[in-house]
Amino acid sequence: MALAAQLRNQDQRGRHVRLAFGWLAAFAVSGTHAQSGRLLATGGVTEIEGSGGGGLVPWALITGLGTNDEVGASAACTYVKPQHFALTSCGAALGIRNRVELSYAHQTFNLDDVARYQSIDQNVFGAKVRLWGDAVIDQDRWWPQVAAGLQYKKNEDFNFIPSLIGAKGSGGTDFYLSATKVYLSGPLSLTWLVDATLRATRANQFGILGFGGDRSNAYSYRPEASVAVFLTDSLVLGGEYRDKPNNLSAFREQAAHDAFLAWFPWKYVSLTTAYVDLGDIATHPGQHAWYVALQGSY
């Protein structure tokens, strides 16, 4: 009976994922498709929660390649395998008239050798609005492109581990403000991108270990940052930093950071590899790994 219930739950989760992707696809084809009007990589890649940006940090850029009169889209999968865990995140996003972004990601956090054959699943629904500025058009001016966004996260396995270690809730919403500046002719006559993001969050380990805790159940403001440089027209080298709250007495949580290399062999495809340090996760210190992400955009 327990096995049957587990299989039903997994099938229900699969239906949720398929419905979300179907909704995004239907919305995309109903609008004016992107005609490659934007420059390469100006929609970013996909961060682990589905928003357009780097691997860890959302940027003010709107996903896809759509201009102010078009609808663009992206879909991506990311796989990260630190020493004792594994994270798979797959999602899709829409960029509407280079102004609004809607995104969805499904994350599966496999507990690997910690709890064999067990995992924690989470759904992330995101929205982002460009408030002012254009990272490309305004690149000769001092102001950046600025966007405000949110990510609603729902942990599907809250009662499995998160509640047992002191987390207070199974769902929560992150709010963030991002400022992204592009320098088409920056240092060394190369193109540079700089991003600063401020996030208000209650999430423990991105929400995988629930929200809030015995130490704090309040929102805290956490800085995030990205720097990237175009080594060639299709090769981007960068690094990111993302601070995280420390809500649980049971486990200390640390900031995450990475160094990444993104390759755009075609305008519509990117492959990103990175070395990421996630800090301590539960009882396991210093969790770090290589990760790979594949994205398609239009």
133-187 residue pLDDT tens: 998 888 788 899 999 999 999 999 999 889 999 999 999 999 999 999 999 888 9
| pLDDT of res. 80 | 92
| pLDDT of res. 289 | 87
| pLDDT of res. 95 | 95
DSSP letter assigned to residue 203: B
Residue 171: alpha-carbon gap to chain centroid: 17
| Number of CB atoms found within 10 A of residue 218's CB | 9
Q: Give dist(CA 176, CA 11) in Å, integer.
A: 33
Q: Residue 211: CB partners within 8 Å, gap ≥ 6? A: 153, 155, 167, 168, 169, 170, 171, 172, 202, 203, 204
Of the candidates 2, 74, 59, 99, the residue with the CA atom closest to the CA atom of residue 293? 74
Q: Give dist(CA 158, CA 170) in Å, integer.
A: 5
| pLDDT of res. 113 | 66
Q: Give dist(CA 297, CA 73) in Å, integer.
A: 6
| Pair type for strands 269-281 and 284-297 | antiparallel
Q: Residue 247: CB partners within 8 Å, gap ≥ 6? A: 167, 202, 204, 212, 213, 214, 215, 216, 217, 253
* Two structure tokens written together for 226: 């990205």
Q: Residue 215: CB partners within 8 Å, gap ≥ 6? A: 246, 247, 248, 249
* Two structure tokens written together for 130: 């460009």
**Which residues, given as ranges, of the chain have pLDDT below 70?**
1-39, 113-115
Q: Is the Cα dihedral 152, 49, 10, 212 positive or negative?
A: negative
Q: What are φ and ψ of residue 132, in 5° steps?
A: -160, 165
* β-bridge mates for residue 87, sequence order: 80, 109
Q: Give dist(CA 28, CA 33) in Å, integer.
A: 7
| pLDDT of res. 23 | 38
| pLDDT of res. 114 | 65
pTM score, two decimals?
A: 0.86
| pLDDT of res. 11 | 45
